[in-house]
Amino acid sequence: MKRILLATVVFINSFAYAQQEIKVDIFDALALKTFEVSYEHYTTERSSIGVSVLFNFEKRSADFRYNEKSMFTPFFRHYFTNSSTWNYFGEVFMGINTGERKTIIAGTNNYEYKDYTDGALGLAFGSKYVSPGGFVLDLYGGLGRNLFTSESRSIVPRVGINLGYRF
């Protein structure tokens, strides 16, 4: 019982004193009518875990839009340097995405949209700037591959320019 209590206290304290960030993807919001917010928690000085949530508000008829309606993306980042201002990272992510795919109805010229849910595994690379006051600028790009259904697109993009705050 004492070991369980000690492990619980250590676990809670590790979150209480760690660096954390909250960010919003301004590129997606301005260019693609998409809202993406991210939370990142540093587990060590050179690694972090986090989660992003994306919602797509662009209409089907738009010239360019994400195929995904929504995406929930847990990720792990490893930072390559100990720099406190500019740093470079690699990321592994698992994106759970929903969307719709346009398909032609057999024997007709009509089409319909089929909804799907899929999971993508992927890699991304990027750079991050952290100001002395806690302001964060995060740039990254990468690709994932959907794994579970043939209804979804094969490739899932992970691209962003995030603005946020470290606390």
Q: pLDDT tens digit string along 40-86?
A: 999 999 999 999 999 999 888 777 788 899 999 999 999 999 888 99
Kindly report the pTM of this predicted structure.
0.84
Domain, as residue range, for 112: 1-166
> Which band of pLDDT confidence, cut at 50, 70 and 90, is reported for residue 149?
confident
**Residue among 110, 107, 94, 103 at smallest CA distance from 150:** 103
- pLDDT at residue 83, as a whole number: 85
- Helix/strand/coil for 139: strand
| Mean confidence (pLDDT) of the chain | 89
CATH number at residue 27: 2.40.160.20
What's the number of CA atoms in the CB half-sphere (13 Å) around residue 155? 6
- pLDDT at residue 39, as a whole number: 98
- pLDDT at residue 82, as a whole number: 87
What Cα–Cα distance (Å) separates residue 92 from each residue in 40, 56, 112?
13, 22, 34
Q: pLDDT tens, 129-145?
A: 999 999 999 999 999 99
**Residue among 71, 39, 77 at smallest CA distance from 146:** 71
Residues composing the chain: 167
Say how many domains are in the chain.
1
